[in-house]
Chains A and B, each alone.
Chain A
Amino acid sequence: MIEVENLKKIYRLGDSKVRALDGVSLQIQDGEMVAIVGPSGSGKSTLMAILGCLDTPTKGTYRMDGQAMEKLSDNQLAMIRSRKIGFVFQQFNLLPRTSALENVMLPLSYNGVKGKTRQEKAQSALEIVGLSDRSRHHPNQLSGGEQQRVAIARALVNEPSLLLADEPTGNLDTHTGADIIRIFQNLNRERGQTVVYVTHDSFIARHTNRIIKIEDGKIVGDEKVENPIEAGMPRLDDVLAPAHRDEGKAGQVL
């Protein structure tokens, strides 16, 4: 369970202060699938960074499973990231010249999991995302969707309490993106995985059970989604004017 109280993040740019987060409070229960929606510059990425323990708030409290996060040292935060949080990024961020299996094994190696157990865990994480037959392939031998699935397996491998996804379909075409969204939905429904899904796209957001809207560093809406869209359903505007949105955007490795 995640409890955030009056969270503030203030950046200094020269003489001026930028309030990226300006008093955010929210709770996310275990097993929820939540979308955080907002335009660029709204503070949703900052919120995600703090929820993911990549960054610390200037003010406010953040408790995950009852543990206070805001005062932890860099190394303690690294340990929390390694044990409790899985990240999926828009740009996949796979290590080049490194097999899918080894990419998935990376968080395990930082978590002290040894040799054979490490391989088995990574292999079963790849099975969850349906890529067990691709484990020896390198990122440049995989399609964009496959790369993102490797990234999801990497995020899952330490069995995190919280799976954080930051625009994971942003670099994928609509069809492949739907596959990725379906994976998140299945993880949430079948395994009770808590998912926080950051996006600017309200159509994608409606695939989740709850939408938190954020603007100018403040929460401006928090509503339940009664009938989440099933992944693979067409967009209304795609039906009316089938344009090839987001197609052919290349994925990126580091």
Chain B
Amino acid sequence: MNFFENFRIALRALTANKLRSGLTMLGIIIGVAAVVALMAVGKGATSGITSQVEGLGTNVITVSTARFFREAGSTTQTLFYADYETIEEEVGSLAKTTPYFQIQASVVNGDRQADYSVTGVTSNFASVNAYTVSRGRFITQQDNLGEARVAVIGSQTSQDLFAGLNPLGRDIQINGISFSVVGVLASKGTSGFSSQDDVVLIPLETGYSRLFGGRAFSGGRRTLSGITLSALDAEQVDSIIAKVEYTLRREHSLTLRDDLGFSVTSQSQMLSTLSSITGTLTALLGAIAAISLLVGGIGIMNITLVSVRERTREIGLRKAVGARRNIILAQFLVETLTLSILGGLLGTLLGVAIAWVVSLSGLIAATVTVDTVLLAFSSAALVGLFFGIYPAYQAAGLRPIEALRYE
């Protein structure tokens, strides 16, 4: 009695009751498909967010008043333009630095109107944030010195406001003030929550004098939304963060015990925070899917118990003609394993198909990885084994004389 023979017996038993076997397998199919599809969606979302954060540019450090995560009781400090100047003095040899001030504003071109983040920037904003200009030019030092009313827009903004027409030289109204479009940024690619392509950039000085109004000033001093730094050497990122934090404490008269009130984060810190969040999310999705796999397993156990009951006389006969305990045990285990492995295969195919459809819909680029498939597949097999053992033991333990007389 080898495995192949057992497998043939199993197939014969399963095909004898096709509808029942199919329905039992459906439980496993749905479970495995759910695991594969949900994990793929989770991983797709993770890699989407990761690639977006990476798109910010390598070696990037952001200083901002807004924290990514606010701890309870933390105080918020105001970031001044003067802080930027001090930081530039302290770490300017190690990193390119660029200040910005951001508001939400209504942007109008003719009858097209939308709300955008409008950011006041300096000329090195593009290089620090790894933006490139696809058409026209970027904001220059000259624009800032002359407080020129010019704007550089993102590729998505250009699409929204100009619908494919050439925006260069055209005017847009930002909060009712007219700006001339001088450049369009190349697309950085969008995936995940917020796009980096629906931006509107203007000269920082122009913003202070014409657009931002009183909210950009605190006690008569210019404030900033944030400062972006791009380390020249990736090795230096941590020491730059330390220097920036030290500078900010000094400038704002904060001791080491005081809460800093600013967030100084590197891209890699943000990345690890984000990936731990999405990792948890993926695990959660997988766990929910695993529950349906568990339910499928219970279905297998249920139907195998019924099958043992129905085939009691067959089991009795097999024992009467010399089948040992372990042979009967193996026969039923092979049956449940066949169900679960076949279900695992079909479920994997279905899961991949679902992931493919989700990707086609453009919501999330679901990525099916080999380890997801292996995980789903092996857990299906484990479920079959686990839930098959009890019924198989029942069958193997039947006394032949009683089994033969069973009606």
**Chain A residues at the B interface, C-beta cutoff of 8 Å:** 49, 52, 54-55, 74-75, 78-79, 81-83, 87, 89, 93, 95-98, 106-107, 109-112, 154, 158, 254
Contact = CB atoms under 8 A, between A and B. Distances in A.
Interface of B: 1, 5, 12, 16, 311, 313-314, 316-325, 327, 399-401, 404
A87 B325 CA distance: 19
Given A98-B12, A110-B1, A81 B322 contact: yes
A196 B120 CA distance: 105
Given A93-B404, A97-B12, A97-B16, A87 B320 contact: yes
Given A54-B400, A54-B401, A254 B317 contact: yes
Contacts, number: 64
A110 B317 contact: no
B404 A110 contact: no
Given A87-B320, A93-B313, A49 B401 contact: yes
A81 B321 contact: yes
B322 A95 contact: no
Contact of A78 (B311, B313, B322): B322
Given A54-B400, A54-B401, A95 B317 contact: yes
A74 B325 contact: yes
A83 B311 CA distance: 24
B28 to A, nearest CB: 24
Most chain-A Cβ atoms within 10 A of its Cβ — which of B311, B314, B401? B401
Given A106-B318, A110-B318, A254-B314, 14 more contacts: A54-B400, A55-B400, A78-B323, A78-B325, A81-B321, A87-B320, A93-B313, A98-B12, A110-B1, A110-B324, A110-B327, A154-B321, A254-B313, A254-B317
Contacts of A49: 401
B404 A111 contact: no
Contacts of B318: 106, 110
A110 B322 contact: yes
Contacts of A93: 313, 316-317, 320, 404
Given A93-B404, A110-B1, A82 B322 contact: yes
A54 B404 contact: yes
B104 to A, nearest CB: 73
Contacts of A74: 324-325
B319 A78 contact: yes
For the complex of A and B, 3 pairs with smallest distance between CB atoms: A82-B322, A110-B322, A107-B321
B322 A107 contact: yes
A83 B400 contact: no
Nearest to A98: B12
A237 B380 CA distance: 65
B148 to A, nearest CB: 88
A198 to B, nearest CB: 13
B401 A79 contact: no
A97 B325 CA distance: 23
Contact of A75 (B320, B325, B399, B404): B325
A109 B314 contact: no
Nearest to B313: A254
Nearest to A155: B321
Contacts of A89: 404
B332 to A, nearest CB: 15
Contacts of B327: 110
Contacts of B317: 93, 95, 254
B325 to A, nearest CB: 6
A111 B325 contact: no
A110 B320 contact: no
Contact of B320 (A81, A96, A98): A81
B319 to A, nearest CB: 7
A144 B289 CA distance: 52
Given A93-B317, A97-B12, A110-B1, A75 B322 contact: no
A79 B314 contact: no
A252 to B, nearest CB: 9
29 contacts: A49-B401, A54-B319, A54-B320, A55-B400, A55-B401, A74-B324, A78-B323, A78-B324, A78-B325, A79-B322, A81-B320, A82-B322, A87-B320, A93-B316, A93-B320, A93-B404, A95-B317, A96-B16, A97-B16, A107-B321, A110-B1, A110-B318, A110-B322, A110-B323, A111-B322, A158-B322, A254-B311, A254-B313, A254-B314
Contacts of B401: 49, 54-55
Nearest to A94: B317
A209 B320 CA distance: 26
B32 to A, nearest CB: 29
